[in-house]
């Protein structure tokens, strides 16, 4: 059992909503917390549930532009219909509503809290489900993300000369984080995601490698539709883990989006909870100071199950195969048909797998030629 871990949470995560028809369901934070509680994962010795604190304006200004923050504040003051497409605000993707600024400041602050717990307070690891808003830009909302919590939280560490490895497992490319650090070698960004050829945010291609001093420190592993756990695990083994080991960062931060799972309504990958557990164990085994943040996931019970298994792996704790009976009742009341904590094994159709394997091999071959020598990795 691992000790000295922090779980960052607030009941206020669940206070707001994007709207009943929006795919981003805020209920997933409460469901994840409730499932962890039902599995007995929040009261182990050496584990502290830490109340998230909201990011201050000064903290947000470390990355975000003042004009953008000002309009976010103004639009959040009432429920009047507001839109400004220059800043990506007010459409169906990124709605604005009363209290929005306070809420997103809290969600961003949760990641700041997690980083502080690990870097300043010496925690072995911390998990903030509220983070992972990897599409946010300095002056534009995008992809349900109004702020970029990782970019904000890392600024003080960069000023101290720290080196950070950022790994993004979300099915969508972590374009906002990549752009924030595209020209620096202080942050190694690695994103494995569904190919942007015909999939949002239409970026994250294999030849996006960074620029200037940052060349070789932006790494993308685009996966074609129907890539399953075997493909995802190979990407981890052949690219992600060797790069982390070679880079030797002061801090590892990972985005644990759960939308790579085969039953997610917005994506076309075929992963299962087994990959989420595998990845979490791999990150823990690096023995690096580790901050895990949330991310995407548009099937709320999938998200709750996946993040519960992440937290269990961080703890080194055993969990039941079935969902606890009390939680099964909650699942049923929400209209979901699910009684397993872990997914059963799943393999893609053989033809789909062969295509996914071929695409992965071609991409890794390019990374081995262009990136590995820069990090002194022998392929």
CB-based contact 97:16 (threshold 8 Å): yes
Contact 238, 282 (CB under 8 A): no
Helices 149-159 and 100-119, axial angle in degrees (round to 10): 40
In angstroms, the CA 166 to CA 150 distance is 9
Residue 3's CB: how many other CB atoms inside 10 A?
A: 12
3-state secondary structure of 290: strand
Q: How far apart are the two ends of the chain, measured CA to CA in Å?
A: 35
In whole angstroms, what is the distance from residue 319 CA to residue 327 CA?
A: 14
The tokens of 69 are what?
């923050």
Query: Which among 177, 173, 174 is positioned nearest to 195, based on CA atoms?
Result: 173
One DSSP character per residue, 27-43 reads HHHHHHHHHHHHTT-S-
Question: Are 210 and 218 contacting, i.e. CB atoms less than 8 angstroms apart?
Answer: yes
SS3 18: coil
Measured in degrees and rounded to the nearest 5, phi and psi for residue 92 equal -65, -30
Is the separation of the CB atoms in 54 and 106 below 8 Å? Answer: yes
**135 belongs to the catalytic site:** yes
Catalytic residue among 134, 135, 137, 226: 135
Tokens of 217: 């420190």
Q: How far apart are CA 246 and CA 214, in angstroms?
A: 16
Q: Which residues are catalytic?
A: 135
């Amino acid at each position: 059992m691992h000790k000295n871990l922090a779980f960052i949470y607030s009941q206020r995560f669940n206070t707001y909503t994007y709207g009943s028809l929006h795919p981003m369901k805020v209920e997933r934070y409460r469901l994840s917390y409730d499932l962890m509680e039902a599995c007995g994962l929040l009261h182990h010795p050496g584990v502290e549930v830490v109340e998230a604190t909201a990011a201050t304006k000064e903290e947000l200004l470390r990355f975000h532009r003042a004009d953008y923050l000002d309009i976010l504040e103004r639009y959040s003051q009432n429920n009047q219909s507001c839109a400004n497409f220059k800043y990506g605000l007010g459409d169906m993707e990124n709605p604005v509503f009363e209290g929005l600024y306070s809420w997103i400041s809290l969600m961003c602050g949760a990641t700041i809290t997690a980083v502080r717990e690990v870097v300043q307070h010496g925690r072995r690891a911390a998990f903030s489900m509220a983070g992972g808003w990897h599409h946010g830009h300095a002056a534009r909302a995008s992809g349900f993300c109004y702020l970029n919590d990782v970019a904000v939280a890392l600024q003080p560490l960069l000023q101290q000369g720290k080196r950070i490895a950022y790994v993004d497992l979300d099915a969508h490319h972590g374009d906002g984080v990549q752009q924030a650090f595209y020209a620096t070698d202080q942050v190694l960004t690695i994103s494995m995601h569904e190919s942007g050829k015909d999939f949002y945010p239409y970026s994250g291609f294999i030849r996006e490698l960074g620029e200037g001093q940052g060349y070789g420190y932006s790494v993308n592993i685009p996966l074609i539709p129907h890539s399953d756990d075997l493909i995802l695990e190979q990407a981890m083994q052949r690219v992600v883990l060797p790069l982390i080991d070679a880079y030797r960062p002061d801090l590892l931060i990972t985005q644990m989006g759960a939308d790579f799972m085969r039953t997610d309504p917005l994506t076309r990958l075929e992963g299962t909870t087994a990959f989420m557990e595998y990845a979490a164990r791999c990150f823990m085994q690096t023995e690096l100071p580790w901050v895990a943040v949330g991310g995407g996931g548009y099937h709320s019970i999938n998200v709750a199950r996946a993040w519960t298994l992440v937290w269990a792996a961080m703890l080194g704790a055993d969990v039941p195969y079935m969902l606890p009976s009390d939680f099964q009742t909650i699942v049923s009341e929400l209209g979901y048909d699910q009684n397993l904590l872990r997914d059963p094994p799943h393999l893609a159709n053989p033809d789909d797998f062969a295509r996914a394997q071929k695409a992965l091999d071609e991409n890794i071959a390019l990374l081995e030629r262009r990136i590995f020598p820069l990090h002194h990795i022998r392929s």
